[in-house]
Structures are given as structure tokens and as C-alpha cells.
Amino acid sequence: MGSTIKKVVIPVAGFGTRFLPATKAQPKEMLPVVDKPILQYIVEEAVASGIEDVIIVTNFNKRAAEDHFDHLPELENWLLKQGKTRALQEVSRIAELANFIYIRQKGPYGNGTPILCAKHVIGQEPFAVIWGDDLIVGEPPRLKQLIEVYQQYGGPVVTGYEVNDEGTKKYGMLKTKTLSDSVFEVQGIVEKPGPQKSPSHLASLGGYILTPDIFTALEQTKLGRDNELWLVDGIERLRQQRPIYAKKVSGTYYDVGSKLGWLQANVSLALQHPELKQTFKNYLTTQL
């Protein structure tokens, strides 16, 4: 039986090159989806899954992310004086979502580095990792689904998501052994194999429950593709020592780090927004 997961690491130190020039001075994780930045959706998913400590790994141009999850007395006092009670409650609530910890990323490029940067804060606890541009919307939250598998099996868990043939060209695809309808033991990850060579239609997306031995595995992992340190390589090294599990999660996935995925998320979530959905639907019908 796995212990409770209370910490999440969210790496946000990338340059957001797929969104340039919009991300030249604006972190991609702070781009809005309807009326909230992407990163707030990610944090709210973590909090709804029982996370208390949110560890955000940043770089020199991510100050906006830190400011967003802090109290802004000038703004809050102005809203109070203007009688904008609802807006005041919304902006002040954000700072109280969790305990926020910020770490500057140091080390080689690659998505394994921010995990190592959080080692001293994680200690010997199991923990979660979510990328700042992988949004999965649904109930129960994606991270809660992963945590339940960890608590049952006591080992690291990766996100599995069912994709079509086209998806096998875009994602790392999981080779697995079936344990139940939605839980699998990982036997390998094949990077973008295409439909003919893919071992399954289960893609490995962002969202992980990891155990502290991932730090040793990453420290022993050589730099991989593009001379970067990759988390998936560290997980593969760990898999040689202990079982790694995959949970086929339910929910709708949006790759909000891409222009198309970001647009899709905005349209879909606007059509669910209580203040916008009917008016926006009417507008869309005039454009089609």
C-alpha cells in the first residue's frame, strides 16, 4: 500500500518556442485558457487530488508565475474599495490554494533536470510530477487517478492515454502487460513509432507518481537525445530495478503547449463556461 502523495513538482522553465513571439516575455504556462492561465488549471488539478505542496521549477523569465500565486495587496485593496467582491475572492483564493515553493532550474537542458532540482525539497517521499502544458480535464482529476494506482501497487505510475493511429506518430507509446481494465505494468516506451510499429494505442503523456529512487536513477542516466537529460530515460533505468505502472486515465487531453491544442482548449472550455457558453456557441455558428 503506497503512502499519501502531498507534493507535486511542476517544471515551467522551458522557453515555449512553439508559441513565439507570444512567449518572448510571457511564460507559455501563463497563457490564458478562457479566463485562467494554464498553470492555474494544473495547480487546481493537483490540489483537487490532495496535493498540499506545489514545487514550481522556474527560470529567469517566469516571474509572472510566482506573482500569480501570491497575494497582490494593491490589487486586492483596489478591488475591495471598488466593491468588486467576487473578483476579490477569486484573486485572493489563488494564493491560498497550496504551499508554493519556487526553485530555479540548474543543470543540463532536458525535462529530467527540474526533477533533480527538487530533490532536496522532496526528500524521501513519493511525489507527483505534472508538466505545465499537459492539460487533462475530467472527473476524477488525472492526478487523483494516478495516486489511486500508486496507493494500490506501491510503485511509480505514468499517465496512459488512448490515442488513434495518428497519435502513435506524436507520442511515446507504451508496451505493457495488462493488470486490469485500466492499469498496466510498463514493459517499455517506444518513441513515436507510428501505427505499424506501435506496441499499443496507449500513449505516455505528462503526469507521474514517482518514488525517491528516481533521483538516483536520473543521476546515473547519461544525457540522451539532443544532449539533454530526459525523465523517460530515468524512468526506464528505474524500470530495470522495480515495476513501473501505467494508468489509462479518463478525461479530455489538450496539448496546450501547441497552438492547435491551446485553441481547442479555449473553445471547449468556453463552451462549458456558465457566463459564455450560449453566447459563444451562437457566435461560433455564425463563423462556420
Residue 258 maps to which CATH number? 3.90.550.10
Radius of gyration (C-alpha) of the chain in whole angstroms:
19
In-domain check, residue 255: yes
2 belongs to a structural domain: no
**Residue 182 domain-assigned (yes or no):** yes
Q: What is the pLDDT of residue 168?
A: 92
pLDDT of residue 3: 66
Q: Specify whether the CB–CB gap between 55 and 103 falls below 8 A.
A: yes
Domain that holds residue 114: 7-287
CA distance 46 to 44: 5
In tens digits, what is the pLDDT along the chain, a chain of 288 residues? 556 899 999 998 887 788 888 888 888 899 999 999 999 999 999 999 999 999 999 987 778 889 999 999 999 999 999 999 999 999 999 999 999 999 998 888 888 999 999 999 999 999 999 998 889 999 999 999 999 999 999 999 999 999 999 989 988 899 999 999 899 999 998 888 998 899 999 999 989 999 999 999 999 998 878 888 999 999 999 999 999 999 999 999 998 988 999 999 999 999 999 999 999 999 999 987
Q: What are phi and psi of 172, to 5 degrees?
A: -70, 130
pTM (two decimals): 0.92
Domain annotation covers residue 106: yes
pLDDT computed for residue 22 by the predictor: 86
Q: Report which secondary-structure segment, H or E, holds 80.
A: helix 73-81
**At residue 97, what are phi and psi to the nearest 5 degrees?**
-60, -35
How many domains, in total, are found in the chain? 1
Q: Determine the pLDDT at residue 287.
A: 84
Amino acid residing at 75: L
Neighbouring CB atoms inside 10 A of 181's CB total 7
Query: Among candidates 43, 58, 55, which has minimal Cα distance to 12?
Result: 58
How far is Cα 233 from Cα 230, in angstroms, rounded to an integer? 5
Side-chain half-sphere of 272: how many Cα atoms within 13 Å?
A: 10
**CA-to-CA distance for 127 and 142, rounded, in angstroms?**
14
1 is a domain residue:
no
Cβ 194 vs Cβ 78: under 8 Å: no
Partners of 159 in the β-ladder? 205, 247
Beta strands in the chain (DSSP E): 7-11, 32-33, 36-37, 53-58, 99-104, 127-129, 134-137, 157-162, 172-178, 183-191, 202-210, 245-248, 252-255
Residue 50 in 3-state DSSP? coil
